[in-house]
Amino acid sequence: MTRLHDLYREQGQSPWLDNLRRGWLSSGELQGWIDRGVRGITSNPSIFQKAMSDTSDYDIQLGELKSAGMSILDSYWELVTSDISAALDLLAPVYAESSGIDGYVSVEVDPSLATDTEGTTTAARDLHNQIDKPNLLVKIPATAEGIPSIRQMISEGRSVNVTLIFSLQRYEQVMEAYISGLEACEGDLSGVASVASFFISRTETEVDNRLGAIGTPEALELQGMGAVAQGRVAYELFRSTFSGPRWDALVERGARVQRPLWASTSTKNPAYPDTLYVDALIGPDTVNTIPDATLEAFENHGMVTRTIDSDAAGANETLEALTRAGIDLEDVATQLEAEGVAAFIKSFDDLLVTLGEKASTL
């Protein structure tokens, strides 16, 4: 047994792998991660850009798609869905063993649709229909325009990973979209799953930069504290939202909670411990999707201890102190959401250029 197994068995947190590439599928490395305790996989356009640009693993299939007359955009989706389908098959035993709690693989809709409600809804529905496996999560960004798409997908009984959450206010909207979507969904709800991906280290970096610019001793003392505090307060909101008569009525129909998923959990600041955003956010009914390097670090020296609600009062006090110091967390979230969408669009567009260049030489 490994620390990853202990994380789930002892603390109720599911460790997922935040990376995917074809070489891992063919070499058995991904199966090795599953054997070590990984219970799900997340992907995004940046991950696929790196995987497809840095290796020749996709060249044979890309050449076949080109020979068949397929466009570069359609070829991209064929390459992506091939990897996602293979990963879904590897994780199918985890999905079955856990009765649908884990074993999921996430794939993101075209990031250029982040401000297009109808386009996002259509794209998410198409991905579910094309891949058509019960352990698929389609990623929809938690933009203002994405919220209605999330509700619609849930109301159709389709499972969703809500991504790019940076603020507590938006997180409350995401949970409401999930619950109201379940209420509109007919029949048994036990096959509908969702996670809400709250981004951690990106928030820390921006808050730290703003605290550094303020420069007062009180501000500097708060560096390295904001993201974990916000995650812990988000967990309080999760526990309070998924309780009470409204939620109990959905549980009677088979509903599962929409687990908070801690994303962006590699440490960006080398002055901070490399497992900070794993160790500090451990608790039941949560997921942490972790890059492979951070997974290795956690396996080596991480702490399997419940920490998510160890100091709820302190977390709220930290957020209040940030506000007094001049940090507007909603403004931070607005900036990070825009930057996150833009970064995924750039990765997506750059990859299409790279695939076009590769295809021209095959």
Q: In whole angstroms, what is the distance from residue 208 CA to residue 202 CA? A: 10
pLDDT tens digit sequence for 253-299: 999 999 999 999 999 999 999 999 999 999 999 999 999 999 999 99
The CATH architecture assigned to 3-356 reads: Alpha-Beta Barrel (3.20)
What does the pLDDT average to over 28-48?
96
Q: Residue 190: CA atoms inside 13 Å, Cβ hemisphere, count?
A: 8
In 3D space, the residue among 157, 161, 203 whose CA is nearest the CA of residue 41 turns out to be: 161
How does strand 259-263 pair with strand 286-290? parallel
pLDDT tens digit sequence for 289-307: 999 999 999 999 999 999 9
Choosing from 139, 268, 346, 358, the catalytic residue is 139
Distances (CA, A) of 222 to 12, 76, 225, 309: 30, 43, 6, 19
Q: Is 50 a catalytic residue?
A: no
Q: In whole angstroms, what is the distance from residue 313 CA to residue 229 CA? A: 10
What does the pLDDT average to over 142-150?
98
Q: In whole angstroms, what is the distance from residue 193 CA to residue 132 CA? A: 14
pTM of the predicted model as reported, rounded to 2 decimal places: 0.96
Confidence check: pLDDT of 1 > 90: no
**Token pair in block for residue 151:** 């509700």
| In the chain, domain spans | 3-356
Q: Where are the beta strands (DSSP E) in the chain?
A: 13-17, 40-41, 104-108, 136-141, 160-165, 194-199, 259-263, 286-290
Read off the pLDDT band of 95 (50, 70, 90). Answer: very high
Identify the residue whose tokens are 């497992």. Answer: 275
Identify the residue whose tokens are 């670090």. Answer: 297
Contact 77, 352 (CB under 8 A): no
Read off the pLDDT band of 361 (50, 70, 90). Answer: confident
Contact 344, 245 (CB under 8 A): no
Q: Where are the beta strands (DSSP E) in 204-361?
A: 259-263, 286-290
Q: What is the mean pLDDT of the chain?
A: 97
Q: In whole angstroms, what is the distance from residue 165 CA to residue 217 CA? A: 30
Q: What does R_g of the chain's alpha carbons equal in angstroms?
A: 20
Contact 15, 61 (CB under 8 A): no
Crossing angle of helices 201-214/312-325, nearest 10°? 40
Confidence check: pLDDT of 362 > 90: no
